[in-house]
Amino acid sequence: MDIKILGPGCANCHKLEKLVREAVAELGLEASIENVTDYGQIAAYDIMRTPGLVVDEQVLVSGRVPTKTQVKELLAARAS
Residues marked active site are found at 10, 13
For CA atoms 8, 26, 58, 49, the dihedral sign is negative
- The answer to whether 78 touches 1, Cβ cutoff 8 Å, is yes
Other CB atoms within a 10 A radius of the CB of residue 51 amount to 26
